């Protein structure tokens, strides 16, 4: 199970908290921020309660903004954390007050004889780097291993699912139960799909449709593999996933297209040429050059990646049919969105933090060597 550091804060401090999370992540630590970690549809109070209890550390961030707020979700998080703190051994550091510039630790009661001010706090306003390093040292001292996973969102989803009690699990729809069981019993996309297929036939047709429709509505890294389950649907049900506009577009969801095309793309050059010949038929030319052409291009390339087909060859067949300018425009749009996104800014900041950390480590090594 993935381990993490829970960070409690008020919304006004999000930017500085995000900076803190980035630097902790640069050490290889997993940071739990409610804004990032709660999936749509999850009961957020239950998610936060579990994240607090299962966290290696709880960081409570205090600032002038937190002091000025009379009502804040942070207050509820502090209540849950203090309740948890009372159950933990006093000799083990778990609750760390973190003070930003101008902030103070409130005299909130822990017991009849202690308040939060009796806990040693970290003052990031005085020395940011030393404070972050101290937090990282405590995490590693408690056995927190550097995170090398690229699928932390899925890992956290597994944690939330594993934390459900039998009554909560029973409240899930059949489709969500199937998804949850498959996610718990897999570690890769391929294992995930195999686990989904195993019990998919146990769902009613309406439940199967709901699962696959949801995947097409949200084709993210987590839900993308669910789209392959369209192969398992009856022919008439496939049409309900994406109604066809013409015969060519209808072919995308007929005759087990996802299976047929993947098999051809996974085959030898002769088999791939059969598929390329189909792409050049009038109906497919109409689709690829039409309004849905770029969407179809993305889907075909995705299937090719799945099949391990030579991507340059596949693209060279499709680009003349779809239009290089249209594909370039799409790529430019996507890249532009990414460059303007907070995700890109965080990636840059994290890289800079990692570089700074490496420089600090080199200096420390040189200091040690000079003393020999």
Over the stretch 175-196, which tens digit does the pLDDT of each residue have?
Answer: 777 777 887 777 765 677 777 7
pLDDT band for position 1 (cuts 50, 70, 90): very low
Residue 370 pLDDT more than 80?
no
pLDDT on residue 247 = 39
Segment 340-345 shows an average pLDDT of 64
Question: How far apart, in whole angstroms, are the C-alpha atoms of residue 229 and residue 216?
Answer: 11
H or E segment to which residue 8 belongs: strand 5-8
**Could you tell me the pTM of the whole model?**
0.45
pLDDT of residue 190: 65
Report whether pLDDT(363) > 80. Answer: no
Q: Are 32 and 159 in contact (CB under 8 A)?
A: no
Question: Is 57:96 a contact under the CB 8 Å cutoff?
Answer: yes
Q: What is the pLDDT of residue 62?
A: 96
Task: Give the Cβ contact number of residue 288 at 10 Å.
Answer: 23
Local structure of 97: helix, strand or coil:
strand
Q: Considering the chain, what is the average pLDDT of its residues?
A: 76
Kindly state the tokens that stand for 294: 């770029």
76 has pLDDT over 90? no
Out of 3.40.50.740, 3.30.565.10, 3.60.15.10, 3.40.50.10140, the CATH code matching 5-148 is 3.40.50.10140
Provide the pLDDT for residue 38. Answer: 59
The continuous run of DSSP H or E covering 122 comes out as strand 122-123
Angle between helices 324-340 and 293-307 (to 10 degrees): 80
Pairing of strands 5-8, 122-123: unpaired
Please compute Rg for the chain using Cα positions: 26
pLDDT of residue 59: 96
Q: How far, in Å, CA of 262 to CA of 255, rounded?
A: 13
Report which of residues 3 and 218 the model is more confident about.
Answer: 3
Least confident window among 102-116, 244-258, 321-335:
244-258
Higher pLDDT, 247 or 97: 97
Return the minimum-mean-pLDDT range out of 47-51, 204-208, 285-289. Answer: 204-208
Q: Domain residues of the chain, as ranges?
A: 5-148, 172-242, 244-340, 341-370
Q: Looking at residues 229-256, what average pLDDT do you find?
A: 53
Is 148 a residue whose pLDDT tops 50? Answer: no
Residues in the chain: 372
Give mean pLDDT, residues 45-74: 88
Rounded-to-5 percentages of helix, strand, coil across the chain: 65, 5, 30
**pLDDT exceeds cutoff 60 at 84:** yes
For residue 256, what pLDDT band results from cuts at 50, 70 and 90? very low
Judge whether residue 134 has pLDDT over 70: yes
Dihedral pair phi/psi, residue 220, rounded to 5°: -90, 180
């Amino acid at each position: 199970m993935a381990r993490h550091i829970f960070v409690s804060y008020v919304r006004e401090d999000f930017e500085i908290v995000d900076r803190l999370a980035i630097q902790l992540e640069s050490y290889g630590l997993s940071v739990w921020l409610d804004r990032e970690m709660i999936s749509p549809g999850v009961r957020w109070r239950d998610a936060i309660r579990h994240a607090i209890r299962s966290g290696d550390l709880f960081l409570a961030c205090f600032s002038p903004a937190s002091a000025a707020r009379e009502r804040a979700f942070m207050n509820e998080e502090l209540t849950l954390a203090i309740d948890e703190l009372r159950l933990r051994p006093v000799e083990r550091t778990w609750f760390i007050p973190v003070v930003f510039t101008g902030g103070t630790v409130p005299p909130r009661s822990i017991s009849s004889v202690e308040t939060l001010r009796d806990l040693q706090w970290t003052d990031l306003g005085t020395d940011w780097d030393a404070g972050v390093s101290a937090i990282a040292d405590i995490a590693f001292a408690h056995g927190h291993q550097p995170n090398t996973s690229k699928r932390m969102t899925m890992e956290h989803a597994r944690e939330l699912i594993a934390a459900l009690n039998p009554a909560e699990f029973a409240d899930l729809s059949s489709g969500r139960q199937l998804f949850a069981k498959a996610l718990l019993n897999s570690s890769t996309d391929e294992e995930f799909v195999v686990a989904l297929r195993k019990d998919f036939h146990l769902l009613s047709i309406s439940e199967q449709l709901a699962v696959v429709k949801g995947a097409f509505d949200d084709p993210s890294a987590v839900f993308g593999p669910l789209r392959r389950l369209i192969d398992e649907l009856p022919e008439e049900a496939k049409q309900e996933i994406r109604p066809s506009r013409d015969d060519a577009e209808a072919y995308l969801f007929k005759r087990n297209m996802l299976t047929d095309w993947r098999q051809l793309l996974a085959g030898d050059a002769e088999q791939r040429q059969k598929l390329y010949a189909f792409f050049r038929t009038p109906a497919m030319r109409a689709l690829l050059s039409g309004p849905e052409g770029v969407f179809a291009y993305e889907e075909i390339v995705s299937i090719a990646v799945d099949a391990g087909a030579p991507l340059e060859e596949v693209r060279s067949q499709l680009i003349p049919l779809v239009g290089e300018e249209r594909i370039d425009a799409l790529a430019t749009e996507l890249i532009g969105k990414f460059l303007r996104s907070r995700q890109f800014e965080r990636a840059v900041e994290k890289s800079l933090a990692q570089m700074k950390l490496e420089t600090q480590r080199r200096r420390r090594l040189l200091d040690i060597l000079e003393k020999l």
